[in-house]
Structure 1
Amino acid sequence: MRANCSTRGLFDGLVCAFMLLLCCQLSATTVSQKPDTALTVVEGGDGGGDSGEDATTATEDEESILKVVQPTSEWQTLKPGEAVPRGSHVRLNLQTGQREVRQGEEQRKYWARKLREKVEEGQHHSFSTAELKEALQKMEELHAENSDNNEDTVRSQFRPLEELKREMADLDMLVETDAQILSRLLAQFRSTNITTERQLKILLELEYLVHQVDNAQTLFSMGGLQIMLDCLNSSNYQLQEGSAFVLGSALSSNPVVQVEAAENGTLQRLLTLLATPRPHSVKKKVLFAVASLLRHFPHAQNHFLSHGGLQVLSELFRGEGGEGLRVRIITLLYDMISEREMVLQAGMEPIPDAAHEERLRQYSEVPLQPQLLEGGWCTLVPELLDSSEHDWREKTLRTLLAMAPVCLSQYRSDGTLSFTLGVLKGQYQELVHTERNLGEENGYFGEILDLLDTLEFKLKWL
């Protein structure tokens, strides 16, 4: 039979006919079965899976007594003593306990290509036993060739190790540690011919680096503190602002730096800047540095109060155009009051810790609350409730609650405060109602309303 049609339908039909004739021809070559139950793979094929039992390779003599099963694209059951071509897929059916086989991927590709060649040449679509053996051998060579190509492809995606080592060595020559960067920046800052513009850029770089605790300590060990203090005394307001910004970032949550700054008179210089005419941009950064120095540092807080720090903040709070500074000031007061109360409350519990006992003693010696009362802060802080900013109102309410133990009697005698609280409560009740209609049960306005309710309760019942 010759194939005279090149259409795809005829080709698919020829493939099916070829597979059927192939199975019939191999079945006709069956001889006596091998009495062993081990799976045998006929030599000359491409290796596939096995059933988990020992697999052996048949010799030419053994092949003559084996029944070679030619797999198809479907799973078929293997009987004891039957052999399969190399490259077949074999599995153990756990439900039936029998071995099953089907064609491997390479087998299907090869036979499809071989059949296509036969059809294109106009040859009869049948194969002899010798051709089948040759085909199996070709399949093994094709598989080996594909493996080599895949290995070459993988190798092309990577570079030699020695080349990578050389590049890494070159990179090491260009890498600077943070300490080296700090040293270089300070050396440039001290240069006599440096411009103010360049100094300001260096201060910004330093501020970024000192957010890391180790870098801040390294900066101070290199003399960076004295450089910042000199900049605070500069006549250039931009340098004052930049150096105060660096100091505030370096002092934040860094006890080692806080102690060194306190011992070198940093607080006095910062208070001087706050007490003398300066642009508000400078005073904001200076106030940030003061707050960073005082937080969680009772020794500095005591020093701050003894040097009239609250009086300086009071004048700043009352000054014209200082609305933006007021929130920063009451936030500082709130932090100082709340951290002191937390330490004192923790001290009521029996904690056998000498360090904690010393910290408790230091905080107990800070006369913060009496000075707040004497400095008129009980009437100053409520003024911020007139602001239209919700954030300002929230911070003011929290500070009022923190000062309540010493200011409660003055709160009650302040008719303006009671009226303002009533107005605000009505406003925030409406805002909370709107929030809940939008599906927010515990929204931001609800938190402010809770603060108002708590303060109102203290005024009426405590």
Structure 2
Amino acid sequence: MRLMSCCGFGATFSSMLVFLLLINFCHIASILGQKSDSALTVVESTEGGGGDEEEEVTVDEEEEGDLDVVQPTEEWQTLKPGQAVPAGSHVRMNLQTGQREVRLGEEQLKYWTQEHREPEEIEASFSPEELKQAMKKIKEDLNAGSKDTEQKDSVASKFRPLEELKRDMAQLDLLVETDVQIMKRLLEQFNSSNSTTEQRLSILLELEYLVHQVDNAQTLCSMGGLQLMLQGLNSSDFRLQESSAFVLGSALSSNPVVQVKAVESGALQTLLTTLATAQQHRVKKKVLFAVASLLRHFPYAQRHFLSHGGLQVLSELFRADGGGILRTRIVTMLYDMISEKELISQAGLDLVLDASHEERVRQYSKVSLQGELLEKGWCGLVPQLLESTEHDFREKALRALLAMSPVCLDQYRSDSALLGSLLILRDQYQEMVQSEMILGEENSYFSEIVELIDALQVKMK
């Protein structure tokens, strides 16, 4: 009986032990069912505040869909009870708060670099609403384009077709006047008895503009324009004289064909007569311009100028001019004529010459200008221009005196007024040069005048 009691007690104890082991196994199984294949590691915390425990957690993909999975970021975030994390995430126990925290694992952080992140960000940069707005904008642009096309069509409809315009322009071309037609019309209007003096003056002004072109000047002469200008020089109206001389001088400038025709037409005699008889100062200026244009680079005309008393007319005009403007123009013209002949003589020393050079040398050899200057008293007239207060007038006088020095040197040396003027002028301009040098200016206009005075004084010694 005791034996049986003992045995019964042993059986009961064994049953209870088996029951407890079974409960413990179930509890462990439930825990393992929630977190499997997990490993817990303790690492040093890089953040302030005590040590934290960190573990790397993995979750089966089959169970992940039934769990509340937290998507970790680069920053630590707190885990709530029952929440799971993706495989490779880092989980730690914050010893200060007693809560579990999670963030991206090292491999995940390496993956989320800029080069991996940009494509996804670009793909996700357009929301559905933004795509709708973009499509709406495309439609608006298409509608605007169609409206622009319609507008262009409506504007184009207001204008005539290009081919029609070409046909009309071809017909209108008959009405477009060329320079020749314009000059012909102007000459007819000028010769008309119904034209007033004001209209003729306007016509001469238009002709002066046209004859600056070489071909127009030659055409005008062949159309009778040269005779018209010479008639204008003989007019009783000084305004017509002035304008006619202006047109003639412009037509003669650098135009050998017109120069030859003018000499053959007796223009030189008419100009000298007008220059000697004109009363108005403004007329004399324009006539002197025409004479200079006729004589420039034309030795044949220069020879006729000397033979027809041209220097005598100029000397009278020089003495009568009190302002110095006409004097300066006369001296400049004489200086140009002397320089031309010297340049031709110097060019004769070259080995290579054009075929017409010998003819030019022959023609210039017949122009005895400097001898005429000495004979007509110009060696004493030109120094009078130094009395002017204008620097430009003085400069031109000095250049002419140097050019005339081969024939006038003896008279220069005996002219006490000229010697005194040169000394005074040199001191005056030397002071101006020194003043300019103080201001930092070199090679000035005044220094050139000083050089001209020095060169003339050297020749006179």
Please indicate, yes or no, whether the TM-score normalized by the shorter chain is above 0.5: yes
Give the structure 2 partner of residue 191 of structure 1: 192
User: What amino acid does structure 2 have at the position aligned with 1:412?
Assistant: R
The higher relative CO (CA closer than 8 Å, separation ≥ 6) is in 1
Summarize the Cα distance change of 1:386–1:262 in structure 2 as closer, same or farther, 3 Å threshold.
same
SS of the residue corresponding to residue 352 of structure 2 reads coil
Unaligned runs of at least 5 residues, structure 2: 1-113
- Following superposition, the deviation at residue 252 of structure 1 comes to 0.5
Summarize the Cα distance change of 1:150–1:444 in structure 2 as closer, same or farther, 3 Å threshold.
farther
Give the structure 2 partner of residue 178 of structure 1: 179
State how far apart, in whole Å, the 2-side matches of 1:113 and 1:328 are: 85
- Following superposition, the deviation at residue 169 of structure 1 comes to 4.6
User: What amino acid does structure 2 have at the position aligned with 1:341?
Assistant: E
Cα pair 1:76 1:102 within 8 Å, conserved: no
State how far apart, in whole Å, the 1-side matches of 2:398 and 2:229 are: 36
- Does residue 366 in structure 1 map to residue 384 in structure 2? no
Q: Deviations over 1:42-73 (max 9, x none)?
A: xxxxxxxxxxxxxxxxxxxxxxxxxxxxxxxx
Give the structure 2 partner of residue 237 of structure 1: 238
Give the structure 1 partner of residue 227 of structure 2: 226
State how far apart, in whole Å, the 2-side matches of 1:254 and 1:459 are: 39
User: What amino acid does structure 2 have at the position aligned with 1:266?
Assistant: A
Cα pair 1:203 1:246 within 8 Å, conserved: yes
Summarize the Cα distance change of 1:404–1:111 in structure 2 as closer, same or farther, 3 Å threshold.
farther
Query: Which residue, out of 132, 136, 140, partners 1:114?
Result: 132
- Following superposition, the deviation at residue 413 of structure 1 comes to 1.7
State how far apart, in whole Å, the 1-side matches of 2:207 and 2:384 are: 38
Give the structure 2 partner of residue 348 of structure 1: 349
- Does residue 424 in structure 1 map to residue 442 in structure 2? no
Give the structure 1 partner of residue 67 of structure 2: none
State how far apart, in whole Å, the 2-side matches of 1:109 and 1:168 are: 60
Summarize the Cα distance change of 1:157–1:329 in structure 2 as closer, same or farther, 3 Å threshold.
farther
Cα pair 1:280 1:322 within 8 Å, conserved: no
Equivalent residue pairs, number:
344
- Does residue 279 in structure 1 map to residue 280 in structure 2? yes
Q: Deviations over 1:345-374 (max 9, x none)?
A: 101212343211111111111111111111
Q: Deviations over 1:144-171 (max 9, x none)?
A: 6666567667778876534653674576
State how far apart, in whole Å, the 2-side matches of 1:76 and 1:405 are: 94
State how far apart, in whole Å, the 2-side matches of 1:155 and 1:241 are: 59
Q: Deviations over 1:106-145 (max 9, x none)?
A: x989974636xxxxxxxxxxxxxxxxxxx88x88767766
Give the structure 1 partner of residue 249 of structure 2: 248
Give the structure 2 partner of residue 16 of structure 1: none
User: What amino acid does structure 2 have at the position aligned with 1:343?
Assistant: I
- Does residue 388 in structure 1 map to residue 406 in structure 2? no
TM, length-normalised to structure 1? 0.67
Unaligned runs of at least 5 residues, structure 1: 1-74, 83-100, 116-134
- Following superposition, the deviation at residue 333 of structure 1 comes to 0.2
Give the structure 2 partner of residue 409 of structure 1: 410
Cα pair 2:321 2:327 within 8 Å, conserved: no
Give the structure 2 partner of residue 458 of structure 1: 459
Summarize the Cα distance change of 1:335–1:145 in structure 2 as closer, same or farther, 3 Å threshold.
same
Cα pair 2:201 2:240 within 8 Å, conserved: yes
Cα pair 1:344 1:364 within 8 Å, conserved: no
Q: Deviations over 1:152-203 (max 9, x none)?
A: 6777887653465367457635532111110010000010121111111111
SS of the residue corresponding to residue 440 of structure 1 reads coil
State how far apart, in whole Å, the 1-side matches of 2:222 and 2:173 are: 26
State how far apart, in whole Å, the 2-side matches of 1:454 and 1:152 are: 81
SS of the residue corresponding to residue 389 of structure 2 reads coil
State how far apart, in whole Å, the 2-side matches of 1:258 and 1:108 are: 85
State how far apart, in whole Å, the 2-side matches of 1:262 and 1:268 are: 9
Summarize the Cα distance change of 1:157–1:347 in structure 2 as closer, same or farther, 3 Å threshold.
farther
Give the structure 2 partner of residue 300 of structure 1: 301
Cα pair 1:316 1:322 within 8 Å, conserved: no
Give the structure 2 partner of residue 207 of structure 1: 208
Cα pair 2:344 2:361 within 8 Å, conserved: yes
- Greater Rg over alpha carbons, structure: 2
SS of the residue corresponding to residue 356 of structure 2 reads helix
Cα pair 1:397 1:452 within 8 Å, conserved: yes
Cα pair 1:244 1:289 within 8 Å, conserved: yes
Summarize the Cα distance change of 1:375–1:110 in structure 2 as closer, same or farther, 3 Å threshold.
farther
Give the structure 2 partner of residue 4 of structure 1: none
Give the structure 1 partner of residue 333 of structure 2: 332
- Following superposition, the deviation at residue 444 of structure 1 comes to 1.8
User: What amino acid does structure 2 have at the position aligned with 1:114?
Assistant: K
User: What amino acid does structure 2 have at the position aligned with 1:329?
Assistant: I
Moved more, 287-296 or 138-147: 138-147
State how far apart, in whole Å, the 2-side matches of 1:422 and 1:247 are: 42
State how far apart, in whole Å, the 2-side matches of 1:388 and 1:430 are: 16
State how far apart, in whole Å, the 2-side matches of 1:306 and 1:216 are: 27
Moved more, 147-156 or 244-253: 147-156
TM, length-normalised to structure 2? 0.67
Cα-Cα RMSD: 3.2
Give the structure 2 partner of residue 36 of structure 1: none
State how far apart, in whole Å, the 2-side matches of 1:456 and 1:263 are: 44
